[in-house]
Amino acid sequence: MEKLIDTHCHLNDDYFWGNAEEYINNFENDNLQYAFVVGYDFVSSKRALELAEKHENVYAIIGMHPSDAEKWNVEFEEFLTNNLPNKKVLALGEIGLDYHYENFSKQTQKQVFIKQLEIANKLGVPIVIHERDAVGDVVDILRQNKHLINNGGVVHCFNESVETYKIYKGFGLKFSFGGAITFKNSKNAPKLLAEVDVKDILLETDCPYLTPEPLRGKERNQPKNVFLVAKKIAEIKNMDLNELIKQTNKNVLSVFTKLKEI
Ligand SMILES: [Zn+2]
């Protein structure tokens, strides 16, 4: 079978830190080609970089998550500017807006999001967007800053309406799907995925969160479970599983263009 790529995982999370290598050393057996470790603040971005520099099958994505926007400072900005050109750093992320928890300033989130769009554009790298309960404002910011969106990117854990899919697609973005689409109560996912072009789909786990069915509630998520996500999408789209994986891998190369340089 075609090897899988987990385009969004958090082996840099405290849950994995200390034994992340055990998982990475198993990638070969788990039929995983690559995992992209995504940063959400300074510490996690440095950890992502550390793993990427040590392991051939790991790449880093570095950035400041909206829920950590208050931690933005000059040092982090310099860190991004210095490290985004690294050949093992694929993109700037995860960035965006998250209004799920009300204790984070919307104003700060917006400023830090826009600042990172500017940096990504200046350095010519794609972006990875995190958006939760904030779709209206994310779309507004993308519209107002259209001139900064020139290098593509991915909306991660995508589970919005078909209309929203079309709007994001208009900005040249692609979409990664994770464990949430396998949940038994997910009524939206089958409807949405039926409409999403297979050329727009990437696979992710967002581990250690969002364990897919049938493992949900039984164990913490890990990169190899990206297989369960692929299986579910192939089922919904009535596609051969191997063909689906092949196509999603092609899509990965089309967004994260540095992979081609290797
Ligand atoms: Zn994430």
The average pLDDT across 160-173 equals: 97
Q: Which has more confidence, 248 or 260?
A: 248
Distance 8 CA to ligand 1 centre (A): 6
Alpha carbon distances (Å) from 192 to 166, 167, 197: 11, 14, 10
Alpha carbon distances (Å) from 214 to 110, 123, 193: 37, 41, 20
Distance 9 CA to ligand 1 centre (A): 6
The closest of 253, 191, 240 to 7, measured between CA atoms, is 253
Distance 37 CA to ligand 1 centre (A): 9
Q: Which has more confidence, 94 or 262?
A: 94
Distance 250 CA to ligand 1 centre (A): 22
- For residue 103, what pLDDT is reported? 83
Distance 194 CA to ligand 1 centre (A): 24
Distance 95 CA to ligand 1 centre (A): 10
- For residue 261, what pLDDT is reported? 52
- pLDDT tens sequence across 112-122: 999 999 999 99
Please give the domain boundaries of the chain with CATH numbers for all domains. Answer: 4-261 (3.20.20.140)
The average pLDDT across 209-227 equals: 96
Q: To the nearest 10°, report the CA torsion of 232, 174, 43, 25.
A: 50
Rounded CA separation 48/220 (Å)? 19
Distance 38 CA to ligand 1 centre (A): 6
The 8-class DSSP code of residue 3 comes to: P
Alpha carbon distances (Å) from 149 to 118, 129, 186: 9, 12, 31
The average pLDDT across 184-208 equals: 95
The average pLDDT across 146-159 equals: 97
- pLDDT tens sequence across 36-67: 999 999 999 999 999 999 999 999 999 999 99
- For residue 262, what pLDDT is reported? 42
Distance 67 CA to ligand 1 centre (A): 11
Distance 243 CA to ligand 1 centre (A): 26
**What are phi and psi for residue 95, nearest 5 degrees?**
-125, 160
